[in-house]
Amino acid sequence: MASCCSDTDEIQAPIGTRRFAVVGNPNSGKTTLFNALTGLKQKVGNYPGVTVERKEGTLRVPSTGQSITLVDLPGLYSLTPRSPDEVIARDVLLGRRCDEAKAEGIINIVDASNLERNLYLTSQLLDLGLPMLVVLTMNDIAEQGGRRVDEAALSAELGVAVTSVNVRKKRGMKELPDLIAQLPVDLETPRTVQYDLPPLVVDETAELRDLVLQDQPGKSPSQAYAEAVTLLMTDEVAPEEARRYSPDLLSHIRKDKATFASGGIDYASVVVESRYGWIESITGKVIERFGPSSLPGHKPVTPLAERVDRVLLHKFWGYVIFFGVMALIFQAVFTWAQYPMDKIDAGKEWLATWVVGHMAVGPLRDLIVQGVIGGVGTTIMFLPQILILFFFLGLLEDTGYLARAAFLMDKLMSKVGLHGKSFIPMLSSFACAIPGIMATRTIDDRKSRLVTILVAPLMSCSARLPVYSLMIGAFIPGKYRGLTMIAMYLLGVFAAFGMAWLFKKTLLRSAPPRFFIELPPYHLPAARAIIMQMLERSWLFLRRAGTIILMVSVVLWWLSSYPRHPELPQSEQLTHSYAGTLGKIIEPAIAPLGFDWKIGVSLVSSFVAREVFVSSMGTIYAVGDDEAKLGNSLRNDSMFSPLLAVCIMIYYVLAMQCLSTVAVVKRETNGWKWPLFQIAYMSVLAWVVTFVVWQGGNALHLGQRSIHAPPPAAVTMSISGLGAQR
Amino acid sequence: MDLTWERAVAQKTGTVDAVVVPITQLKAGKRGTVVRLDGNSGLRQHLLEMGFTKGTEVEFIRQAPLGDPIDLRLRGYRLSLRRAEASAVIVAPLD
């Protein structure tokens, strides 16, 4: 009864194409191998309802011309799931997902330098009774440690084919497609691994297997056995899981658990220990030792990674290097990206000019030039930053340094309830929140990831910089400019950490996330895999976020261009448009912050991208693109004061004004709930803080000014005063 | 706690196995064998599956510069855990 799908909605693989799941531990080189096998013939998406990436690729077997579909499952340590990734992987392997055609067989990637722990998952996969190929990776690292895995012996022990590859040196890669193609369609005889288990455990597991088979007839006996083990391992069957099973089955599980408890048997311990016992008996037979380490009485050499870690995880040098690496990335994202960004900007201008020259005057031309090219072009300008950031993230991950970074930063991040892995997404958000939010995918714990996504846009991104420069340039005296700029960045950092702490205490309260992070050996990165991942992420950004951004840009263009007033000069057009009207409508709401409708209009148009504030103010003050002139005009407007400039900046630090970010958050959280919540909380935060500063500043008479000599002391006071308000 | 002294006493009194400590109390660079796992069953099971079964040799390599998390080696690989979780691993010190 409780099988996951009816026959009609089950997705069938196209006839004639075989499907295999690629499964392995994290850090086993699985993704590198998958990329090498499938090249660019990949489809990347999400599993519906969860933010787990779904990757599928096509392998062409050169010798036969046959195509094979490979599904890259998220890395996992065991079939007992602890993260959404692992739930998906298990469900696919147990044939529980309707939206995923069943895999015919398994390609199990096993790290030869970490054989014992990798074989734990292998032992669980063997239970599934599917055709299977074991691919050994990292043989070079194993050999550096004086160990070699005997493929033939391992194959004999496991009862499945075993092969070795080295993707970077292209060793074993030519034979691999044929080995995969040669996997049998079905196993003739089910495999039975003999674990050393107490009779009671053997009997009860077999009994439950039979019940699962009765309950869910489509399953093979091996799959039912694997499911029975999983059910008995789990403490409490989760409510959403329980729906799959009949009440009889569930009560039987409870009875079994009571039996084990009264017999003094800890089912999980017994099962896991028997598997590791089996593994130890195998590794004793298949690992050959050579070199000095094989001599009796030899003291094992400290592995290279540990010697490197003496420096990289050192109390002092560890942080010096860490912050050096972070500064390099930051620098790269900020300044190296500038050149291609300028090029894109120039290309955008060129395209706009070309369209203007080749199209008749009219609303369609305006739509294309201002709406499409202007709006989408502004977003594409972030692409270089995204590419560079993901290149570095891939490099850090592939070499093994990312895990060390999490190790170094975890204590600090745990102070606000976050995870060491949250650090890099937060740092990336200084460049742009979009790649930062996309980088949260490395965080397994759902709530920690969500909190990181929620606070990441508080870090001052590069699009805020033009707003800060305009305001600081026009109103802050020379010697306080740098200080003011730093204060704005710090305000964002403190707000992000403060809100993270608050969310973890209230809305997203959870036990501190478990920090089980493997520190893998260092290895040379596979350039191809890094570049492919970088391109993949960028393409996702362009495709998914791009469509929403296009739509929004067109809407905003329309709001700021209509209704048409041909009789008015260009500079008045915006004032009398819907956006202008909107600015006047929201004026009562922003008046307590010292903002008038002109700023209101610019706030509205900032939703395309924050830096649009500058061009929008330029249009209103009829000075066009000239920032120096705009600064002068603002100084001559009696409404503006250094206090107001600071208030505008504070508002820009804290408010959610970037629709591209909203689009990405929607995509990453799979729904509108969290992006809408994020807009709400950031708007409230921005309003309240700006209100307090503006009203407080005025109460202290900081808002009054003399045009030629803005009171510098007053400005810094209001900035340093910010610290006290949080 | 002075482990060597306690061990000496334990050896004299024939209760060698009686001296067990959470792995977090080992000094950096010291090893121990897993005696049992404390903590809730979810954590125990997680630790088990990562290889902390009874009798497994675990080395405390170092702590992070800020004191937490810690860096362990077992079954030929390295795992870092926060102290709060690692203290569920009870070991008999080896050296």
The pLDDT confidence band at residue A544, using thresholds 50, 70 and 90, is: low
Determine whether the interchain pair B68/A410 forms a contact, defined as Cβ–Cβ distance below 8 Å. yes
- pLDDT tens digit string along A51-108? 566 788 899 888 888 889 999 888 889 888 777 777 788 888 877 776 677 788 899 9
| Lowest mean pLDDT across A424-438, A640-654, A706-720 | A706-720
pLDDT averaged over every residue in chain A = 81
Determine whether the interchain pair A515/B71 forms a contact, defined as Cβ–Cβ distance below 8 Å. no
Backbone CA torsion sign across A242, A245, A247, A248: negative
DSSP strand pairing (A67-72 vs A18-24): parallel
B-contacting residues of A 177-216, CB under 8 Å? none
The pLDDT confidence band at residue A714, using thresholds 50, 70 and 90, is: very low
Q: How many CB pairs under 8 A join A and B?
A: 109
H-helix segments, B1-95: 3-12, 41-49, 83-86
| Lowest mean pLDDT across A10-19, A237-246, A690-699 | A10-19
| CA distance linking residue A572 with residue A560, whole number of Å | 11
Residue A445 near chain B (CB below 8 Å): no
Higher pLDDT, B7 or A402: A402
CA-based angle A283:A287:A292, to the nearest 5?
135
Which phi and psi angles does A558 have, rounded to 5°? -65, -45
Q: Is A416 left (phi over 0), alpha (psi -120 to 50) or beta?
A: alpha
pLDDT at A381: 73
For A96, half-sphere exposure in the C-beta direction (CA atoms, 13 angstrom radius) is 17
> Which among A135, A105, A131, A119 is positioned nearest to A34, based on CA atoms?
A135
pLDDT at A393: 79
Residues 6+ apart with CB under 8 A from A172: A163, A164, A165, A166
Residues of B in contact with A233 (CB under 8 A): 45
Which of A282, A316, A323, A407 should one mutate to test binding to chain B, selecting the residue with the greatest count of B CBs within 10 A? Answer: A407
H-helix segments, A461-596: 465-475, 478-505, 527-540, 546-561, 570-573, 578-590
| CA distance linking residue A711 with residue A725, whole number of Å | 22
CB contact at 8 A, A215 and A245: yes
| Lowest mean pLDDT across A185-189, A334-338, A620-624, A720-724 | A720-724
Q: Please tell me which of the candidates B42, B53, B71 has its beta carbon nearest to residue A273.
A: B53
Q: Which of A197-201, A457-461, A629-633 has the highest mean pLDDT?
A: A457-461
| CA distance linking residue A610 with residue A602, whole number of Å | 9
- pLDDT tens digit string along A223-232? 888 888 888 8
Q: How far is A192 from chain B (nearest CA, A)?
A: 21
Q: Please tell me which of the candidates A269, A315, A411 has its beta carbon nearest to residue B48.
A: A269
Helix (H, G, I), strand (E, B) or coil at A508: coil
> Which among A659, A616, A650, A607 is positioned nearest to A634, based on CA atoms?
A616
The mean per-residue pLDDT over the stretch A325-354 comes to: 82
Rounded to the nearest 10 degrees, what angle do helices A673-699 and A659-669 cross at?
A: 140
| CA distance linking residue A215 with residue A209, whole number of Å | 10
| CA distance linking residue A557 with residue A377, whole number of Å | 13
CB under 8 Å, gap of 24 or more: what pairs does A388-391 form? A388/A332, A388/A333, A388/A336, A388/A337, A389/A329, A389/A333, A389/A428, A389/A431, A389/A435, A389/A439, A390/A435, A390/A438, A390/A439, A390/A533, A390/A534, A390/A537, A390/A538, A391/A530, A391/A531, A391/A534
Determine whether the interchain pair B82/A115 forms a contact, defined as Cβ–Cβ distance below 8 Å. no
Determine whether the interchain pair A518/B44 forms a contact, defined as Cβ–Cβ distance below 8 Å. no
Which phi and psi angles does A542 have, rounded to 5°? -65, -45
| Lowest mean pLDDT across A136-145, A274-283, A322-331, A713-722 | A713-722
Q: Please tell me which of the candidates B54, B65, B76 has its beta carbon nearest to residue A273.
A: B54
Scanning every residue of chain B, which has its alpha carbon at the shortest distance from the alpha carbon of A300? B76
For A474, half-sphere exposure in the C-beta direction (CA atoms, 13 angstrom radius) is 27
Instruction: Return the number of other C-beta atoms located less than 10 Å from residue A494's C-beta.
Output: 14
pLDDT at A557: 77
CA-based angle A265:A267:A273, to the nearest 5?
100
Residues of B in contact with A319 (CB under 8 A): 65
**% of chain A exceeding 70 in pLDDT:** 87
- pLDDT tens digit string along A291-305? 766 566 655 566 777
Scanning every residue of chain B, which has its alpha carbon at the shortest distance from the alpha carbon of A232? B45
The mean per-residue pLDDT over the stretch A683-703 comes to: 90
Which of B33, B48, B89 should one mutate to test binding to chain A, selecting the residue with the greatest count of A CBs within 10 A? Answer: B48
Residues of B in contact with A411 (CB under 8 A): 64, 66-69
pLDDT at A704: 60
The pLDDT confidence band at residue A189, using thresholds 50, 70 and 90, is: low
The mean per-residue pLDDT over the stretch A690-701 comes to: 91
Higher pLDDT, A71 or A613: A71
Backbone CA torsion sign across B31, B32, B34, B37: negative
pLDDT at A301: 61
Helix (H, G, I), strand (E, B) or coil at B8: helix
The pLDDT confidence band at residue A394, using thresholds 50, 70 and 90, is: confident
pTM for the structure as a whole: 0.79
CB contact at 8 A, A77 and A6: no
Determine whether the interchain pair A514/B78 forms a contact, defined as Cβ–Cβ distance below 8 Å. no
Q: Give me the residue label for tokens 């956006």.
A: A579
**% of chain A exceeding 90 in pLDDT:** 20
Q: Which helix (H) or strand (E) holds A42?
A: strand A42-46
CB contact at 8 A, A147 and A291: no
Beta sheet of A18-24, edge-to-edge order: A42-46, A53-60, A67-72, A18-24, A105-111, A132-137, A161-164
Q: Please tell me which of the candidates B45, B51, B62 has its beta carbon nearest to residue A268.
A: B45
